[in-house]
Structure formats: structure tokens, C-alpha cells
Amino acid sequence: MEVENGPGWEIVIGLEIHVELLTRSKVFCSCATGFGGEPNTRVCPVCLGLPGSLPVLNAKALEYAVKTGLALNCEIASFSKFDRKNYFYPDLPKAYQISQYDLPLCRHGYLEIEAGGVRRRIGITRVHLEEETGKSLHAGTSIVDSPFTLLDYNRAGIPLVEIVTEPDIRSPEEARVFLEELKRVVEFAGVSDVKMEEGSLRCDANISVRPRGASRLGTKTEVKNMNSFRAVQRALEYEAARQIATLRAGGRVVQETRHWDDAAGVTRGMRSKEQAQDYRYFPEPDLVPIVLSPEQIEQWRRELPELPAARRERLAREYGLPAYDAAILTASKKLADFFEEAARAFPDPKMVSNWVMGELLRLLKAENKELDQVPLQPSDLVGLLSLVRDGVISGATAKEVFEEMFHTGDPAASIVDRRGLRQISDEGALREIVRRAMAANPDAVQSYRQGKEKALGALVGAVMKETRGKANPQLVNRLLLEALREAKP
């Protein structure tokens, strides 16, 4: 379908995001969290919902949920409570999810983003705490037509925050940018590691379109099953275009839930059997209400680490970096931490920034790895840059060394020594080699003197050949020029 959301139409998007919190134990029992593991090994009577078991709130999960709200500029409720959301599904062992309904922990927040050069403030309606479900593994495509389904409850009971935005987002691109910034915020706040591929961040979207200038919102659809930020943007682009085309053709948008099919690049309406669910929310009688003192909330606010927007600003200011560099370096907390640790130990922050944004990101991308999956440490980069600065190795050699460091985590100096890459910067020795090179290449000397400056290259090449590339190139240049000048008849 042709994307056609020209100036005549306005797109209105609201997002509903679920983020797994990074606590060591689950939200209502003491089972370990963590991705993977043998199925059904991190379970107990509570997270399996066995008869008679009762939930007990994990204080850390509460703290992380509140910190999420604080990081999103929310008001924190001094009194909130849990409710049961009732529905049947095999991965929901109690047939209800402990969630929050009318009194969520956090409300009325916002997150500022910059998309297409425009700064915008997206409202956060609410943030609440709830429990994760288990995982169903269908032998077929869905539970309806599978010959059998396997269930893994390791994930059941991992703490989850649900973040709901106001319908403030105006384009699919903005939705993607919002998610990227949100991911950074929760990561910087230290409450989640937000790995979308492991399902620790999931996003559903409500989207509608209306003729520009119209005051009433159009009929919305809910889009689900988007498994990457890119998928969110693509799905919403498709869905906006579909709705506009429908309306243009005189049709009506049907309020429904639609599944994004990433391979086909389309959204599809779900079987009409899946009617609006009545979850029969009611207060969870097994848990007492959450009462938070202003002192406790302030304490958590003070503990909140520096968030991405503040860090971007500070990196630019403190290290004299261009805004572009600061934005890239704060793409993740790990990257920003890496940069800062190196920049603090090296006098030229821009040089550090160039290497982090250049070689480091290039290799991470090429190998599809996360920063914490490689042995390279900031101190390794500092060691390497010091060798370059001191003229021990050339920039070209440094790239080779960096690649080895990236894979092995060995210090730059030992790689340089082991591979014999140390530059020859001894003037006396190089002067002798330069003399021999000129003697062996009289034609080149002749050409240079006749004004062919290019001939210098051949002489440099000869020196490099003899030193097996280890000669300090700046020094070789200078010595050659001096020698050529002196030897002038």
C-alpha cells in the first residue's frame, strides 16, 4: 500500500508500553528473574498460582516502578492499590493478573523528544506496576490451531511497568523516536535493561487519523505484535495509510485490534470473535494498599541517576563536544559511561569521541554485539590513544590494534610490542635510512627536484618498505624534505 499521509491528514497516536523491571527477584515471590533458563525452573507456589499461595510485594519492584514514574516527570500517588484483571489464558496461572486499575502509582508525566528537528513534549497518562505472564510455546501458529502448547512460567511474576501515553504523538516516526528516548530513560534510570528482542520492552499503539483541522478524533485501531522500534514505525505508517485510504474511498475505520505482520508488512484485523474483554477489575484482597510518604518519594527522586537529556547537555558542555556527538554517545547508558570513563583519563575528549563513534560503534554494529558483550574497556582505549599521541604508533596501525583489543581485551601496548608495531622515531637511525633510500632511488630524487612533488611518495614508500611500515611517517616526511633540500645542487 502506498503511504499517503499528505498535508491534508493528521495522524494521532498513543502508545502503551510494557517494560520489565530489572529486579533480582520476582514482584510477588522470591524466585529469580532473568532471561532464558530451563523451562519452569524459576517457579514456586506463588508464581505458579498454586491453591493457597499468596503474593507479597517486592519492595525493590515498587521502588523501580516509582523511579520509572519519576524519570518520566510523573506525580507519584501517596496512596495506590493493586487490582485483579481477570481473564483466562494458560500462561496466566491464577487466571487473573495482579495489576493496577483506578489508582496507579504514577500519573500526569511527560517525556520530551526531538523528531525531525522539532522538540515535542509527549504526555504520560500513567505508569503502573503489574506482574508478567508466563510464556506459551505453540506447536502451531496459535493456541487455537495448535496440536499442543507448552508453557514456561519462568517469566511469570517478573515485575512489569505499564506506561501509557496521551494521544500526543503525531507521526509514526515520532512514535519510534519516543520509544528510543523512553528506552534510554528507563535504562539510564537503572530500572530496566530494555531488551526488546528478549521481550523486556513491548509496545502496542492506538492510532487514528482525521482531516487536518478537525476537532474530533477519528475512530482508532489498536495495533499489536510490533517487535522492534523499526516495526512500530513501519506498522504505524502502514496503518495510517490504510485508514486514510479507507476514509478517502468513503469507507469507515472499524474500531478493532490489528496484528502487525512484519514479514508481509501489513496489519490484519483479528478474528471478530475477540470481542472487547470485560476484565472485571476489583481490588486485590491479598495485598494491602501502597502508602508512600513524601520523604520516601523524595529519597527515590534524589537517588535517580542522570537521565539522557541532562547527560547529553552535560557531555556537550563539559567535554566541548558537538551536539551531534553528545546525542550519539548517549544512545545507551553503557556507551555514555564508556566514553566518559575514557574521556576523563585522556586530555583530548574529541579524539575519544571520534574513536567511540567511529571504530567502536562500527565494530559493534558489524559484529551485532552490545558493548557489555566485548572485553574492551575504556582504559584500553585510553592506552591506545596515548600511544598514538606519543607517536609510538601511527593512526593506521592504531586501527589494527583497536580491532584486536576489541576482540581480546589485551592492552594496546602489549599488542603493539607483541606484533612489533612500535614506530621508529629515532632521528639518527631514520636519517640513515632516508639517505640510503635517496641513494637507491635517484630517479625519484630527480623527479622531485624537477617539481614533481608526487615523487616524494615513492621515497616515503621506500623508507617504509625498509622499516616494514614502522617508521614514524611525520618524521620520515620531515627528514626526507630536509635531505632533499640540503642535497640540492
Partner 1 sequence: MEIHELTLTEVQDLLDRGELSGTDLVEGLYTRIDAVEDKVQAFLELDRERALAEAKEAGKAQIAREADPGPRAGVPVAVKDNVCTMGWKTTCASRILFNFRPPYDATVVARLRQQGHTVLGKTNMDEFAMGSSTEHSAFHPTRNPWDLTRVPGGSSGGSAAAVAAGEALFALGSDTGGSIRLPAAFCGVVGLKPTYGRVSRYGLVAYASSLDQIGPITRTVADCALALGWIAGHDPLDSTSLAAEVPDYRTFLRPEVRGLRIGLPKEYFGEGLDPEVRGAVEKAVQQLEEGGAAVLEVSLPHTEYALAAYYLIAPAEASSNLARYDGVRYGFRGEGSDIVELYSDTRRRGFGDEVKRRIMLGTYALSAGYYDAYYLNALRVRTLIRRDFEAAFQKVDVLACPTSPTVAFRLGERTDDPMQMYLSDIYTVPVNLAGLPALSVPCGLNHEGLPIGLQLIGPPLSEGRLLQVGYAYEERRGPFPRPQL
Task: Name the residues that contact Zn ion, by CB under 5 A.
Answer: 29, 31, 44, 46-47
Cα 114 versus chain centre, distance: 16
- For residue 47, the partner it binds in Zn ion, partner 1, none, with Cβ less than 5 to 8 A by kind, is Zn ion
Instruction: Provide Rg for the chain, Cα atoms.
Output: 30
Residue 68 to residue 307: CA distance in whole angstroms: 11
The CA distance from 265 to 268, in Å, is: 10
90 binds, among Zn ion, partner 1, none (CB under 5 to 8 A by kind): partner 1
User: Is residue 35 helix, strand or coil?
Assistant: coil
Tell me: does residue 56 bind partner 1 (CB under 8 A): yes
Q: Does 197 bind partner 1 (CB under 8 A)?
A: no
Under the criterion CB under 8 A, does residue 88 sit at the interface with partner 1?
yes
Using CB under 8 A as the binding criterion, the count of chain residues that bind partner 1 stands at 31
- 53 binding partner (options partner 1, Zn ion, none; Cβ < 5 to 8 Å by kind): partner 1
C-alpha cell at 320: 566541548
Q: Which residues contact 61 (CB under 8 A, 6 or more apart)?
A: 21, 23, 27, 129, 159
Interface with partner 1 includes 140 (CB under 8 A)?
A: no
The secondary structure of residue 316, as a DSSP letter, is H
Decide which of Zn ion, partner 1, none touches 56; Cβ closer than 5 to 8 Å per partner kind: partner 1
5 binds partner 1 (CB under 8 A): no
Given the rule CB under 8 A, which of 46-54, 164-172, 331-339, 381-389 is the region that contacts partner 1?
46-54
Q: What are phi and psi of 312, to 5 degrees?
A: -55, -45
Q: Which of 121, 268, 271, 280 binds partner 1 (CB under 8 A)?
A: 280
Q: What is the largest CA-CA distance in the chain?
A: 103
- Write the DSSP assignment of 212-256 as a string of letters: TT-SSPPPPEEEEEE-SHHHHHHHHHHHHHHHHHHHHTT--PPP-
Residue closer to Zn ion, measured from CB, 42 or 126: 42
Residue 86 engages partner 1 in binding (rule: CB under 8 A) = yes
Give me the least distance between CB of 88 and partner 1, in Å please: 6
Q: For residues 57 and 297, which CB has a smaller minimum distance to partner 1 in the complex?
A: 57
Return the number of the residue (144 or 264) whose C-beta is nearest partner 1. Answer: 144
User: Cell digits for 239?
Assistant: 496503518
Of the two residues 38 and 278, which places its CB atom closer to partner 1 in the complex? 278
State the binding string over 282-321 for partner 1 (x if CB under 8 A, else -). x--xxxx---------------------------------
Which residue, 73 or 86, is less far from partner 1 as judged by CB?
86
Residue from 34, 37, 90, 305 touching partner 1 (CB under 8 A): that is: 90
Alpha helices in 189-228 (DSSP H): none
Give the number of other CB atoms < 10 A from CB of residue 190: 15
Residue 31 contact partner, candidates partner 1, Zn ion, none, CB within 5 to 8 A by sort of partner? Zn ion
Candidates 82-90, 212-220, 223-231, 310-318 — which segment interacts with partner 1 by CB under 8 A? 82-90
Q: Bridge-partner residues for 224, per DSSP?
A: 259
Binder of partner 1 out of 7, 52, 116, 489 (CB under 8 A): 52
| Residue 429 lies near partner 1 (rule: CB under 8 A) | no
Comparison of 35 and 279: residue with beta carbon closer to partner 1: 279
Got the DSSP string for 91-121? Answer: TSTTSEEEE--SS-SEEEEEEEEEETTEEEE
73 sits near partner 1 (criterion: CB under 8 A): no
Q: At 218, which amino acid appears?
A: G
Sheet (strand 106-115) strand order: 75-76, 106-115, 118-131, 159-165, 9-20, 201-211, 221-226, 257-261, 266-269
End-to-end CA distance of the chain: 76
Out of 38, 102, 278, 372, the only residue in the binding site for partner 1 (CB under 8 A) is 278
Alpha carbons 443 and 422: distance in angstroms, whole number: 31
The dihedrals phi and psi of 114, each to the nearest 5 degrees, come to -130, 115
- Of 273 and 488, the one with the shorter C-beta distance to partner 1 is 273
Q: Pick from Zn ion, partner 1, none: which does 335 bind, CB < 5 to 8 A by kind?
A: none
Q: Does 45 bind partner 1 (CB under 8 A)?
A: yes
Interface residue with partner 1 among 48, 297, 371, 374 (CB under 8 A) is: 48
C-alpha–C-alpha distance, residues 356 and 363, integer Å? 10
Distance CA 297, CA 182 (A): 21
x-marked contacts with partner 1 along 246-265 as a string, rule CB under 8 A = --------------------
Query: Do 214 and 248 contact (CB within 8 A), yes or no?
Result: no
Q: Which helix (H) or strand (E) holds 29?
A: none
Give the one residue of 6, 51, 294, 451 binding partner 1; rule: CB under 8 A.
51
Enumerate binding residues for partner 1 (CB under 8 A).
45, 48-57, 84, 86, 88, 90, 93-96, 143-144, 149, 151, 278, 280-282, 285-288
